[in-house]
Structure 1
Amino acid sequence: MGYEEMYGSWGERKEVLAWSAGTQIVMRTKETGANIEKIRQREEGLDQAPDQTWRYDAFKHLTTWFTYKIPDSSEGRDDIVNLKLLRPHQRDLASEDIVFGTASGQLSLLSASPDFAETRVQNYNTDRSNVFDESRKRAIADLSISSSSTPLLATALSDTSLAIYPIDRHNFSDQAIKPSSTAKTVLDGKPQRKIWSCEFISDDAVAVGWGPHAEPIEVYHIGPEGFLPQPLRRFNVASESVAHSNHTAVYSILPFPSTSPGASEAGHIFLSGGYDGIVRLHDMRSPRGFEQIFWDPTNDSAVYSLAAQGRERFVAGVALHSMIKVFDLRLSGSHSYHSILLSEKKFNPTNKTLSRDSATSTVVDGLKSQTPVVSGGWNLYLTPRTTPSRTAYRTDYTRLRGDSPVYSLSIPSSTSQKLYAGLEGVVESLTLHGVADIYPDTMLSHSLVRHSAGVVDVRASYNSDGGALNLGMYEQGTDEGLGMQLLVQDGVTDKVAGKERRDKAVAKGLDERWIDLRDEQNRWSSGETLPPREELPHRPRTSRRPPRRSGRGGGGGGGA
């Protein structure tokens, strides 16, 4: 989880990022601007103290680190499974406030002031009774914070209860705060069903994601007295023609950004990510279960996380291949290079094998034409194609990495160049920037090093420590896999590639540092021969597992 503040001008910013690792919370603050640059220039060349908690990153931004460990906690038992940061308008500017929940049932507000090395903790009662009993705490399934200046905390507990707590950061008490309202959620009269997610979609409505079920999304209204006893709305995720055979689990819910085209200030519109690999757009004002489908025909891995990127795109983190997917939120067909309308085609993603805490479906076969199906975005593998230099990291990066689900995603603001992905054992930072731009982003220009002729030295400017990762990506195609481009990144080198390759990239609508592997088969890193266009794989069929919400070593489990 992260946020970003802008102080008047484009280059004056502060970014705060927090994540969990076992029973610990790591928080990083990044600051940039004219004053930071003056301080950096004065301190350049000075030795760093062994215990120094701050440094300047590759872009010459000041980064400060803070860690917190739950007292008397045990790894594997008390692991943090969810955390959220309060926004600047919700907190005291002297500290950062983090709400976190654990697998053992602790729910707390941590107020940390790194400048003064001070922390305060307020606990919340997750017990079933009115008298707090440490042994009867319920595990935290998910949590969410409303966006108002006087926020509420919504929590999904392990016994399928929803609880609302007030957040009053000015009055910390030794007593655990009781919920101001609770609701017992039982889907189809079956309390054994599991809640996977809960999210405020407005200040007075919380959406809950179940699984597996034909109606896996419920929305509960919060009135003056708290939760209403019955859900305000249930959403069916199947087509009307085969609703009885379509079940899925909903792992992630994302309120539609209010600044996006077609958004609602009242919070009527939201996205959901399911086990079936589909992201659906829902509208509280519509009688239909969903208004639009975003689907990648080349890979239908379960969607574990969602994040909004600016006004026009969103990013989905999936269960397989350490992969993220980028989709266009704009109207289907308005930009042909991002959206392909498939209303004439049968929509039939791969069948899933039913297992515990998993879902199975043929999903939406015979989907009606009035429901637009959008594909044609692009996917990025977060596992490096080549082993990064060990000298670039404090620990051996390759030991921590394997094929991991993308458990969490965070984009600090609508104007941020950053995207953070929480994977198993690591948080990966992506900077969305064209290193070959003649006029680089001023947020990232403090690191520029130029040759004597005035040309930017790309390696010295953007990869001086050798820590940049070499990633692969591809553009999604149609339902038949047509139009898919397999691409790899050409690393961070001293100069832009030759004119011939630049011209090829421009002709394909690509930045010159992305290579179409079909044009350069001899550079395929694994030594394989790429198949002809008509034989390209378009729907990997591999088994998947449910998301790991707790356990030892979960670096991205608590959100990014």
Structure 2
Amino acid sequence: MLQNLPFELLSQIISELPNAQDLARLSSCNKALHAFVEKDGWKTFVQTRFPSKSVKDNWKAAAHSLTTTSRNYDRKAFIARYLEPSNFIVKLPGRDLENQWRKPRGQTMGYQPIISSYEESTGKSWDSLKQVLAWSAGSELVIRIKEMGGGGALKPERRGTYSYLDHYGHRTRWFTYKPPKSVEGRDDITTLKLMSGGYREGSMSNSATEHVIMGTASGKLFLSHLELERSSHNTLGSVFETSGRAVRSADLSPTTQELLAASLGDSSVVLYKVPQYLYSAPEICESVDSLSERSVALDGSGGRGHRIWSTRFLSDGLLALGLGPSSKPVHIYKVTNEGLSQEPIRKFGVDRTAWVDGLEEVTESPDTKVKQSSIYPIVPLSATTSSGHAQGEVFLSGGYDGIIRLHDLRSSSPYVSTYFDPTDDASIYSLQALGRERIVAGSSRHSSLKFWDLRVSGGRCYHYTDLNVAETQSRPTESSQNGWNLFLNPRNTLQVNGGRGGPRWRRDRATESPVYSLSTPSSTSPTLFAGVENNVVELDFVSMLDKHPDPIFKNGITRDQRGNINVNRSWNPKGDVLNFAMYEQAKSGDLRLKTQAGVGLYQSTLKGYDERWRDGGS
């Protein structure tokens, strides 16, 4: 009998099962198999099918959540809303109270949001989470705190905490913070990082304090400690010395968050040591000098438009810069205890002319015009024991030419794979890796999000999860298949009212906006945030007709006496869900626009898609 097999063989069988339903059926065969599956089976399944996801326990619930989210991505099932502070809004640091948030005014265009988010476990159940979201609105910082799960519906906290339950039954609080003496249009926030993980664990901070690094166009770079539950005017913990140079971008070392790298002005990259936070912000803020500084040589003698565009840690020991226009717009520096390496240890180009049919590199003649481009976002791909590469060795870059390139430090090639939309060459302004399964990019035009699935072998030949040395010498591969574009332009008319807690949506020039930033709270989260002009869009990948949705959303479900889900009351109680349009990428150019119907409208559904999608030509 199957249950009499050694545990090792049972684990091997489970690792070959394609979906969670098969494992659940195996578990129902008898008590012995049920016990094994509950103890070890779900863990084996999650680690095999979702190796890039950070999961430590609650394996059965994790399998439910991850498989549900994966299916929703495949079926393009999501609920989208504009985000805006509502109900009770606490102004930090004095904790003054507002019930209506006003967007920045006085400029010729809306603000360009920079987004940062994270989530952390707060209990024993899978859905017991605290999610923190922050974005920049001109010179102001907006923060949302959500508490989820815990095995039952949450209740608003006691008077004075200014929380309410949102449409999912999550306890929600809103805060805003404007740094001292900041002026709209001059001190706009250009870079934003929420401190989480290693920094919070090692800094003796309580859960009611958020640590935020912000840089501004006027050359200010500082670490603020925002105490959410009490008035505290000592918000500035540290000020990093910039010599008044504009802060273009910044990033934190990923593991401990002890190092801060920032690009200042057009061509300087500076490394700082982040001071530790003990119990409360100091009375006098600490001034932090640079640990090391490097000036980056830019092609074109540093003319107009030549600059460092992005700064990103690939690992604690590797820092990547995206710059341009340049023939080699990606520079990699080594990070040590003494600071940055004197020169880049590697430069990556964007030109293909060095590749010939024999897979040999050729030396270009002096008359050959080398392709130049600018690189905006850079994103490392996560490494696990099964990935075949170390952390930081494989990463993505998004270019001015609309191409996403996959780079590998172990390869002599400038890049080993590309992702692009053959019908739209708009620049890539933002990138987000969704584990090792998918990537999403923000375009410079039409408020467009571009999705690619990295798992499909038919979509590309190069798989960084099982790369070997021989494969690193092969020709770069191209992938424009299995991608789809989503337009973040609402096709429905939303409510406009100024009532307390009610939606007050305005288009505010967002129709043709770039997607400036992207963020997801964790590798296991079903939520994606996108920043367009004057707005932040939240996309929750969930299906409205799913009888067993992700546990994170279960508290918002309303059912009738027969157990049937009331779709409108469960998913759209305020009438603020957005209807978008999308198309799937194809080299043939045969594009079919698809549009979302309103909540509760499910006739003429398309096979393989969420029930809300309609053929745009019908």
Quote the RMSD (CA, aligned, Å): 2.4
Q: Which string of whole-angstrom CA distances, capped at 9 and with x for unpartnered residues, describes residues 60-88 of structure 1?
A: 11111111101111111111111011113
Aligned residue in 2 for 1:386 = 492
Aligned residue in 2 for 1:183 = 294
Aligned residue in 1 for 2:312 = 199
1:214 aligns with 2:327: yes
Aligned residue in 2 for 1:252 = 377
From 157, 160, 166, the equivalent of 2:264 is 157
SS across alignment from 2:287: coil
Moved more, 189-198 or 313-322: 189-198
SS across alignment from 1:195: strand
Q: CA deviation at 1:120?
A: 2.4
Aligned residue in 2 for 1:131 = none
Q: Which letter maps to 1:164?
A: L
TM-aligned CA distance change 1:340 to 1:182, over 3 Å: closer
8 Å CA contact retained: 1:53, 1:66: no
TM-score by length of 1: 0.78
Aligned residue in 1 for 2:583 = 474
Aligned residue in 2 for 1:145 = 252
Aligned residue in 1 for 2:517 = 408
Q: CA deviation at 1:148?
A: 2.3
SS across alignment from 2:229: helix
**Aligned mates of 1:101, 1:150 — CA distance in 2:** 16
Give the number of equivalent residue pairs: 464
**Aligned mates of 1:390, 1:240 — CA distance in 2:** 54
Q: Which string of whole-angstrom CA distances, capped at 9 and with x for unpartnered residues, describes residues 365-385 of structure 1?
A: xxx982111122111111101
**Aligned mates of 2:426, 2:390 — CA distance in 1:** 31
1:96 aligns with 2:96: no
SS across alignment from 2:310: strand
**Aligned mates of 2:124, 2:193 — CA distance in 1:** 26
Q: Which string of whole-angstrom CA distances, capped at 9 and with x for unpartnered residues, describes residues 95-128 of structure 1?
A: 2111010000000001112122435213434344
Q: CA deviation at 1:318?
A: 0.6
Moved more, 303-312 or 87-96: 87-96
Identity, in percent, stands at: 38
Moved more, 89-98 or 284-293: 89-98
Moved more, 264-273 or 323-332: 323-332
8 Å CA contact retained: 1:407, 1:423: yes
SS across alignment from 2:147: strand
**Aligned mates of 2:257, 2:488 — CA distance in 1:** 37
**Aligned mates of 1:264, 1:251 — CA distance in 2:** 24
Q: CA deviation at 1:512?
A: 2.0
Aligned residue in 1 for 2:137 = 21
Aligned residue in 1 for 2:428 = 303
1:2 aligns with 2:117: yes
Which structure 1 residue ranges, 5 or more long, are not aligned?
A: 44-48, 129-136, 334-338, 343-367, 521-560
Matches within 5 A, 1:317-336: 317-330=442-455, 332-333=457-458
SS across alignment from 1:240: coil
8 Å CA contact retained: 1:472, 1:489: yes
Q: CA deviation at 1:208?
A: 0.6
Q: Which letter maps to 1:78?
A: D
SS across alignment from 1:445: helix
SS across alignment from 1:459: helix
Q: Which letter maps to 1:255?
A: P
**Aligned mates of 1:75, 1:194 — CA distance in 2:** 24
Q: CA deviation at 1:240?
A: 2.9
**Aligned mates of 1:90, 1:438 — CA distance in 2:** 39
Matches within 5 A, 1:280-359: 280-330=405-455, 332-333=457-458, 339=459
Q: CA deviation at 1:159?
A: 4.2
**Aligned mates of 2:321, 2:385 — CA distance in 1:** 23
Q: CA deviation at 1:189?
A: 7.8
8 Å CA contact retained: 2:167, 2:556: yes
Q: CA deviation at 1:24?
A: 0.9
Q: Which string of whole-angstrom CA distances, capped at 9 and with x for unpartnered residues, describes residues 5-28 of structure 1?
A: 234322211110111111111111
Aligned residue in 1 for 2:479 = 374
Aligned residue in 2 for 1:107 = 221
Q: Which letter maps to 1:317?
A: G
8 Å CA contact retained: 2:197, 2:256: no
Q: CA deviation at 1:400?
A: 5.7
Q: Which string of whole-angstrom CA distances, capped at 9 and with x for unpartnered residues, describes residues 501-552 of structure 1?
A: 24xx22xx2122211223x2xxxxxxxxxxxxxxxxxxxxxxxxxxxxxxxx
